[in-house]
Amino acid sequence: MDGSCCACMFFKSRNSIRAFTNQERGKLSKLSLYEDLVAAWVPARHEWLKSRPLGKELVNALGSQRMFSYCAYSLSFLHFGTSSEVLDHLSEFDSSLVGRRHLCSVPETTECDIAASAVILSSKISPGVSVGEDSFVYDSLLSGRIQIGSQSIIVGVNIQEQSDVEPSGSKVLFTLPNRHCLWEVPLVGTRGRIIIYCGLQDNPKNVADKDGTFCGKPWKKLLHDLGIEERDLWNLSGTQEKCLWNARIYPVQSPSEMLRVGMWLMGSASFNCEHILSMWRSSHRVSLEELHRSVDFPQLCTSSSNHQADLAAGIAKACISYGLLGRNLSQLCEEILQKDISGVEVCKEFLALCQSLQVQNSGVLPQSRAWQVQADLLRACGDDSNARIAEQKVWSAVASETASAVKYGIQDHLFESFCMANSASDFKNDLHGISFQPKRAIVELPVRVDLLGAGAIPHLGA
């Protein structure tokens, strides 16, 4: 870790940051997040810390701050550590509390095969895709004949159907074996994106000559089976230990070529070994170590935000066009607005679709909910004045619906009680003696209710 970059964020003024950065420019220092930084908050460790790289600067920046601790006995600690630990958490005995589908587009069960235990988040899956038991798919777009094994993790992957075509024109079935990880990241500059993969239990720092593995196989067996030589992966003249972390194994190619090479390396498909090996050797390849220095993080975040905005737009459009407005349109609009100007235009298109909501049957769509959707969309479009008007109509509709439910509930109760009294052989002309029983009236209201506090106007939503 670059110590200057890490320490800068603790200074309170830009001038101190600039002075510190200029002072340390050109130096490469390493800090321990669990030792050096924590020691800056512990006065008894200041003398020791001052002898460490950047220790004096850390003491000056953090030493005067006070820390407080509080133990929340009612809470439990969850450590999202390795990929395997994440999957273990999602499949625990109390995993019924885990939402397994959120902000996703999944086809009908007759068009794909997705295990009920699989977790699909912020992803779009097209017909023809299968996902195995206890797998986790996040921020991805999967299209075409794709098979994801059990207990696998897919993050940020964009596999388009047209990419999976061999030169002969026949479809390539991409297969990710059981207990594997697959992810995709953009590279800085104009180098495009790269697809990375490994076994769920692979430790990148384990030495290849000892217990190191790649895709679950010992390095020695993998190299023998595929015809790869050690000099293809590592600089044999150096002193650095050979491991997955510094193995130049991931090629930067077209998406279809990277997928084919990936299946070859993982052993999930049989290709012409000589052809694939030659293509892999002639490609520009990077290691995990090089990759972590080359990831375009701003582009990674932008792509993820745009992807989630598109998913939210699709869900919102279906909710308005075909559904009963049971979604939280306010939250969906927040996702859509991540696309800035284009997001506002999308919300305006949805607002135009709301004109027909008021004529729908109030027996299935409460008017309060229809007005709340319009209020949310108006606010997303920046029209706060009309949004406030719509919110007043929400409250008027809520009052009307509540009064109607209570009124009809009492009338029904009186009618039932009157009939019971008449059948008891004492026909009386009044209601004296009728025993009333408590009765509940159910009112369908907007599904989002957020009371902001005493004196504030409650903000309801669908």
**Residue 20 pLDDT grade (very low, low, confident, very high; cuts 50, 70, 90):** very low
Residue 66 has pLDDT above 80, yes or no: no
174-176 and 180-186 strand pairing: unpaired
Which residues are CB-neighbours of 234 under 8 A, at least 6 positions away?
240, 242, 246, 247, 248
The one-letter amino acid code at 301 reads C
User: How many percent of the chain have pLDDT more than 90?
Assistant: 49
Scored b (16 or more CB within 10 A) or e, 20-52 reads: beeebeeeebebeeeebbebbbeeebbeebeeb
Query: What are the sequence ranges of the domains in the chain?
Result: 3-62, 100-294, 325-461
Of 302, 374, 299, 372, whose CA–CA distance to 340 is shortest?
302
Sign of CA dihedral 47, 49, 51, 56: negative
Is a pLDDT exceeding 70 seen at residue 341? yes
- CA–chain centroid gap for 1, Å, is 26
Residue 424's pLDDT is: 47
pLDDT higher than 50, residue 9: no
Q: Residues 332, 314: contact at Cβ < 8 Å?
A: no
CA distance 357 to 319: 11
Contact 199, 179 (CB under 8 A): yes
The DSSP element (H or E) to which 88 belongs, if any, is helix 83-90
Q: What is the pLDDT of residue 406?
A: 73
Contact 177, 154 (CB under 8 A): no
Q: pTM for this structure? A: 0.73
Residues 185-202 pLDDT 10s: 999 987 789 999 999 999
Question: How does the average pLDDT of the chain come out, rounded?
Answer: 81
345-388 per-position pLDDT tens digit: 999 999 998 877 766 766 788 888 889 999 999 999 999 999 99
Residue 377's φ and ψ, nearest 5 degrees, are -70, -40
**What pLDDT sits at residue 427?**
45
pLDDT exceeds 60 at position 245: yes
450 in Cβ contact with 434 (< 8 Å)? no
Label residue 87 left, alpha or beta by phi (over 0 means left) and psi (-120 to 50 means alpha). alpha
> Cα angle at 401 between 400 and 405, to 5 degrees?
115
Is residue 327 predicted with pLDDT exceeding 60? yes
Q: pLDDT over 70 for what percent of the chain?
A: 76
Angstrom distance (rounded) from CA 247 to CA 196: 12
What pLDDT is attached to residue 269? 78
pLDDT at site 409: 54
